[in-house]
Amino acid sequence: MDNPTIARLLAETADLLEIDGGDSFRIRSYRRAAESVEQTTVDLAAIATDTAQLLEIPGIGKGMAAHLQAIAATGTMPLREELLAKYGASVLDLLKLPGMGPKTVALLWDAAKIASIDQLAHAIEKKQLAGLPRMGDKQIEKLRKGIEDYRRSVGRFRIDIAEEAAAKLSKYLLKFDGIHKVSPAGSLRRGRETVGDLDLLVTGPACLPEHTAAAVAYVAAFPDIHDIIAQGENKVSFHLANSLQVDVRLLPPESYGAALQYFTGSKAHNVALRQRALKMGYTLSEWALARLDDGSTVAAATEEEIYKALRMDWMPPEMRENLGEIEAAAHHKLPRIIELADLRGDLHMHTTATDGRNSIHEMAEAALERGYQYIAITDHSKNMAMTNGLDEKRALEQIRRIHEVDKRMEGRIRVFTGIEVDILADGKLDLDDEVLAQMDIVIASVHTRFEMSRDDMTARVMRAMENPCTRILGHPTGRLLLRREPFALDMAAVLRRAAELRVAVEQNAAPERLDLCDRDLRLAKELGCNIVISTDAHDTRHLAKIEYGVRQLRRAWLAPENVLNTLGTKKFLAALRPRP
């Protein structure tokens, strides 16, 4: 029972209370506790029996401490179970639809006892929502599309969710005597933005055929397993509590490389590689690269051996999608793609001035610890009222505060002034140009009116980029993975215009966005766009999430020279669109 899980249970209880018409103060207390639990570095499960330690955490009183103790002991708490019994667990799925908050769910329950996505879809089909408050044609259509998107995403998991599960499982498995190595394979190793399941390959003396029984039993005893799907001599398949399917394979060291290659490459990559092997008189399987004539093993222990035997260079997992990497590896022409260590700065982050959790100075110190040469502080503009966005007066005050911190850092790191300014519906920017012109970094982003037509949205974004103050186009498609589809946009036209204007396009590395995707990044490179990568961090800990974006850059075969913030401070500023 880790902190994120505890925080989720508290937040869900707050939502259920709001659906139930509970006291607003009580609802806020659960939400405040969920935020505190999510942010604390204290392992709550480890101290759950110590009430005094729990009470030291901000937002946790005696009553909430008792709830935390119940969650740690049982995996839930009485109030949550009582509300789930009343409404059903599927009511929480309704909250995953765009624009569906607890108040709307309560409305649907009161009006028609709707408590699941299937019931809502049926009500829409039968036109039973007409006439309900806040249920006009546009809202009903938005819900219908949201249901379609949700149903498409069921069974998929964001890369960070899968990686967190892989890390937790790996830590557990490596405690077993005789297990020496655990490697994620499949979509996660290739850096796909979402995964359908998680493949873990395990090796060591405990994975030899004569010893696997004990190791398999240990795998099957992992505490977070919800249900076991299958259990064999060298494989255990199971679901975790969040429904993510995990396949753990125990492999002898002599065939580990073959299995890692087989279970990493996309299907198309593996088919092309097997065809190459056949032409060379070999057969390639998850066990080995072997000769066709006598079945003798040619290579199996490492991936490098296998690719070398096939007269190819080894290639990074992110490239294995059959998009030309096999030919490039065979001709020794694989490019040197970007790595995390190439980055010199992060250009998109928020502070306590709007909806961030840390101060300017704290963000600068955290970035300095990562070895960065520069950052940009880019809080929201006033159109984002729910984030306490900056108006012109507060934006000027923010510039002054950033300058103060930059001076305080004494040259150890450069802190650029900046803003994430909203692109309004007509394409204008949310702050006056005379204020924006004083910023080092102006990121223009769409945060509202996602339903516009393709032509209108394209014109909107084009106009925003044509403002001479715009230096970066933020999260260009507006998508939220598994929650909100990209808005309609002529991406090629936008990227061509961005290249002409020297407006950089952002790869937003937040794992819920990863926007631009690898496909659009390839197009941006082809069209000669300036590209930057940033985290959109709202917390110092979010700076580490840059790695998820780097994987998308690698999937797009981007080299360091294709990404502006691999440059040092002076060269980076010179490479950006000139300030007006």
Domain positions in the chain are: 3-153, 157-251, 257-330, 340-575
Question: Residue 75 half-sphere exposure, CB side, CA atoms within 13 Å?
Answer: 4
Options 3.40.50.970, 1.10.3720.10, 3.20.20.80, 1.10.150.110; which CATH number does 3-153 get?
Answer: 1.10.150.110
Q: How far apart are CA 281 and CA 259, in angstroms?
A: 20
The neighbour count for residue 236, using CB atoms within 10 Å, is: 25
Phi and psi, residue 148, nearest 5°: -60, -45
Q: How far apart are CA 31 and CA 11, in angstroms?
A: 6
Q: How far apart are CA 173 and CA 139, in angstroms?
A: 48
DSSP 57-103: STT--HHHHHHHHHHHHHSS-HHHHHHHHHH-TTHHHHTTSTT--HH
Pairing of strands 225-231, 282-284: unpaired
Q: List, edge to edge, every strand of the sheet that includes 441-445.
A: 345-346, 374-377, 414-422, 441-445, 472-473, 504-508, 531-534
Structure-block tokens of residue 431? 């702050």
- Amino acid 153: pLDDT: 64
CA 384 vs CA 30, 123, 387, 443: distances in Å: 25, 33, 6, 14
Domain 340-575 has CATH 3.40.50.970: no
- Residue partners of 56: CB distance under 8 A and separation at least 6: none
- Amino acid 443: pLDDT: 98
Answer whether 444's CB lies under 8 Å from 473's CB: yes
Answer whether 537's CB lies under 8 Å from 362's CB: no
CATH class (in words) of the domain with range 157-251: alpha beta
**């190791």: which residue's tokens?**
215
Q: How far apart are CA 50 and CA 72, in angstroms?
A: 12
Q: What is the CA radius of gyration of the chain?
A: 26
What is the chain's pLDDT, residue by residue, as a tens digit (580 residues)?
Answer: 678 788 889 999 999 999 999 888 899 899 888 888 877 777 788 888 899 989 988 888 999 999 999 998 888 889 999 998 888 888 888 888 877 889 888 988 988 888 888 888 888 888 888 778 778 888 888 888 888 777 766 778 999 999 999 999 999 999 999 999 999 999 999 999 999 999 999 999 999 999 999 999 999 999 989 889 999 999 999 999 888 999 999 999 999 999 999 999 998 899 999 999 999 999 999 999 999 999 999 999 999 999 999 999 999 999 999 889 999 999 999 999 999 999 999 999 999 999 999 999 999 999 999 999 999 999 999 998 888 999 999 999 999 999 999 999 999 999 999 999 999 999 999 999 999 999 999 999 999 999 899 999 999 999 999 999 999 999 999 999 987 889 999 999 999 999 999 999 999 999 999 999 999 999 999 999 999 999 999 999 999 999 999 999 999 999 999 999 999 999 999 999 998 8
Considering the domain 257-330 in this protein, what is its CATH number? 3.30.210.10
Q: Show the CA angle centred on residue 223, arms to residues 220 and 225, nearest 5°.
A: 60
